[in-house]
Structure 1
Amino acid sequence: RFGEPEELIGAVIWLASEKASSFVTGALVRVDGGFSAMTI
């Protein structure tokens, strides 16, 4: 299923925070509820 906005907001807030913005550059952060891990 597609995620709801309230399920994704935690990742969005973290990426917009000072802690993440000073260390994360050019990364792909999958917010897929673990779906990509199950397809291995």
Structure 2
Amino acid sequence: KRFGKSEDISPAFVFLASADSDYITGQVLCVDGGYGMI
């Protein structure tokens, strides 16, 4: 187990800023490395 790094979450930000995410509205994108499943 480790703390997340900027390299871990930056792909999510890039995706959300891209045209690929144009159909996503009102969602919470949890980028926690699976920690929330514990």
Q: Report the TM range for the smaller structure's normalisation.
A: 0.7 to 0.9
Query: What is the aligned-residue identity percentage?
Result: 38
Structure 1 portions without partners, runs of 5+: none
Distance 2:27 2:3 in 1: 21
| Aligned-pair Cα RMSD in Å | 1.1
TM-score, normalisation: structure 2: 0.79
Q: Which runs of 4 or more aligned residues in structure 1 lie more than 4 Å from their structure 2 counterparts after TM superposition?
A: none
TM-score of the superposition, structure 1-length normalised? 0.76
Q: Structure 2 unaligned runs (5+)?
A: none
